[in-house]
Amino acid sequence: MPIASINPYTGRVERRFRAFSWPQTERILAQAHQAAAAWRTTTFAHRAQLMHRAAKLLRERQNELARIMALEMGKPVVDGRAEVLKCALCCDYYADHAAEFLADDIIETEAQRSFISHEPIGVVLAVMPWNFPLWQVVRFIAPALMAGNVGLLKHASNVPQCALALEKIYHDAGFPPATFRALLIGTDLIEKLIEDDRVRAVTLTGSEPAGAQVAATAGRQIKKTVLELGGSDAFIVLADADLELAAKTAAQARMINAGQSCIAAKRFIVEKPVVKEFISKLKTHLLAFRTGDPLAEDTQYGPLARPDLADEITQQVEDSIKQGAKVELHGGQSKPGTALFRPMILSNIKPKQRAYHEELFGPVALILEAKDTADAIRLANDSRFGLGGSIWTRNVKRGEELARQVEAGAVFVNSMVKSSPEMPFGGVKKSGYGRELSYLGIREFVNQKSIWIAKEEKPEKQKKVE
């Protein structure tokens, strides 16, 4: 795939980039490896000062960064600014808490003193997606730099200007240039980078096939990976839920980033007594969303990031309808090869349909009818994914009990699933492994070193000579 900014709203090529050659990429890797040796010796106070400066620059440049996201992948500028501010919050969070999160853990043993030290490992390669082109990167690079590591970014080929703008933020904040570099490379060089001994670990957010390939390559090299892959999050609506609030939030949860989010609600599992009323309310809220030019302030959702992505989800929908799914809200593409995809609702979702098993990465809400609460949990867990989920009920205690039964990395009760710096983020099953964010995230790529200091042996007193 060419490295280019192609506006999904207009179809116009905004800018093309020449991909880095391997010699050019290898030089940057060599510089990063050298910089890692020096960066690991810096203090948390020094790193925090620069990270707070990066947060300040993000806030100052929020309009410019939001515009780049709108042009490159169709995110409305209102949402783009919110993403930038969330990135700034993450930078401040790790600047404030890294020293605490990576402080020595004192362990009581028979030694005079024993503890676990959390030390940087060096160069970490990040392979990142286009859907949240700044947030996905910042939640990797902020903790990595604060831990004393350095980062190399292989961003998605359709958001090169986002990658370069973020690189400039950190350089302008005062981080040594080699501690964070954006590599404008194709997927063909990822394997060579992972196989190089100077790359110590890899983090990837993306598809199952990409995750499997990266993990296999890293595994052969005995290197740690963190994978955040797809999701088909369950949005469980029990019969006693506040249906109006649940339906309104359901529409918002399905329309996050025009439905292009791993943690967007995708499977709406509704108890039978309220399923018809829920569908009616959900339809009303989805129809109220306004589309248009992502650069316009009143646009609530834009096109999908690329026309081929809209073509793909259209095929998934058409196949599912042929397999028995029922259309409750018509929408979708106006014609093949266009990026705009209007919201849809499909019901009568059954196990033999593509919609039942696959992730639909766009604004298609899938309604699954549950006979009772136990059946709702069964349906929620009958998925190869396990990223996030939510439960809607007026009985909060019961909601918490059920949340423990859902196989997912995060479950929210009476709230939309979201990521935040304070809480760990990641999945189980085919949604990946490892965690980003919180204190767990910053500890993923450190050497958890045991240090043992023996007790001093006291010399025996010499016997008196008579």
CA distance 319 to 239: 31
CA distance 126 to 167: 13
Indicate the Cα dihedral angle 383, 215, 170, 15, nearest 10°.
-80
Q: Which amino acid is at 16?
A: R
Check: CB of residue 233 under 8 Å from CB of residue 386. Answer: no
Catalytic residue among 228, 328, 359, 444: 228
Catalytic residue among 87, 167, 262, 436: 262
CA distance 412 to 434: 19
Task: Let me know if 228 is a catalytic residue.
Answer: yes
Count of other CB atoms within 10 angstroms of residue 412? 21
Q: Which residue has the tokens 């399905």?
A: 254
Structure tokens at 141: 């690079």
CA angle 8, 255, 357 (to 5 degrees): 95
CA distance 323 to 351: 10
Active-site amino acid positions: 228, 262
